[in-house]
Amino acid sequence: MLTLTSPVETRYHRWSAGVKLAALAGFTLVLFGVDAAALPPLALIAIAAAYLAQGTAFALLGLRLLRPLWPFVALILVWHLWQGDPGRGLAIVLRMLAALAAANLVTLTTRLTDLLAVIERLCRPLSPILPPRRLALAFALAIRFLPAMALHLSHLREAWSARSPRRPGWRVLVPAVLAALDDADHAAEALRARGGTD
C-alpha cells in the first residue's frame, strides 16, 4: 500500500511531525477564524512559496493534489458571480485552497509511521481506557490486512465473473463481510495463543 508521502525528499521531511501538526492546526484556525480580506491571498502565497522553495517537481505534485477541489472552486465562483459578489467568492476559494495546500504539505512531508507515533502520543492520556499497546496493534493489524482484504475481494469478484455474465452485484458483499469476520476470529486466536494484547 502506497502512502501519500512525497517521493521527492524535501527539507520539511526532517522537521518533527508533532511541530508540523501543531503549526498546521494553528494555521487553519487562524485562516478560518480571522475574517480579514488580506488573509486568504497572503496565506496562499506563503504556502505556494513553501512548495516552490523545494523545487518545481514538488510544487507540481502539490498542485496535482488540489485536483479534487476544482469542482468546488468552479461552483463557488459561478455562484458568487451570479449573486453579484465575486470578491467574496474569490476569498472563500483562496481560503479553501490555502487550507488544503497546507494540510497536503504536512501529509506530503511526513512519514506514516511518524504521524501514527504522534497520534499514539496524543492518545496517551487515555491510556486507562485505551492501552497504547492495543492502539498500536489496531493500527498494525488494519494496515496489514488491507492487502489481504483486497485480495479476498478480487477473488470473490473473479468467482462471480466465472459464473455470471453480469457484473458483480451487492450479493458479493456478504461473503466479503464474512471473510473479514473470519479473518478477525483467526487473528484473535493467533493473538491469544501468543499471550494476548497486553
Partner 1 sequence: MERSLTHIALFAALIAILGVIPPITLAFGVPITAQSLGVMLAGTVLGARRGFLATLLFVVLVAAGLPLLAGGRGGLGVFASPTVGFVVGFPFAALVAGWVVERTSLPLGLAAGAGAVIGGIGVLYVFGLTGLAMVLDKTLGEAAFLVGAFLPGDIVKAVLAGFVTVSLARMRPGSVLSRS
Which residues, 56 to 95, sit near partner 1 by CB under 8 A? 65, 68-69, 72, 75-76, 88, 92
List binders of partner 1 among 155-174 (CB under 8 A).
Answer: 156-157, 167-174
Whether 87 contacts 141, CB under 8 Å: no
Q: Choose one: 7-15, 42-50, 52-60, 100-108; the region binding partner 1 (CB under 8 A).
A: 100-108
**Contact flag: residue 143 with partner 1 (CB under 8 A):** yes
**Contact flag: residue 192 with partner 1 (CB under 8 A):** yes
Grid cell 486507562 in the structure block, residue: 128
**Contact flag: residue 43 with partner 1 (CB under 8 A):** no
Of positions 8, 63, 136, 153, contacts partner 1 by CB under 8 A: 153
**Contact flag: residue 48 with partner 1 (CB under 8 A):** no
List binders of partner 1 among 4-33 (CB under 8 A).
Answer: 4-5, 24, 28, 32
Of positions 46, 60, 142, 159, contacts partner 1 by CB under 8 A: 142
**Contact flag: residue 37 with partner 1 (CB under 8 A):** no
Distances 99 to 111, 129, 139 between C-alpha atoms, Å:
20, 34, 27
**Contact flag: residue 145 with partner 1 (CB under 8 A):** yes
Grid cell 463557488 in the structure block, residue: 76
Of positions 16, 56, 127, 154, contacts partner 1 by CB under 8 A: 154
Q: 4 vs 49, which CB is nearer to partner 1? A: 4
Total residues at the site for partner 1 (CB under 8 A)? 71
**Contact flag: residue 139 with partner 1 (CB under 8 A):** yes
Distances 5 to 38, 46, 139 between C-alpha atoms, Å:
31, 21, 18
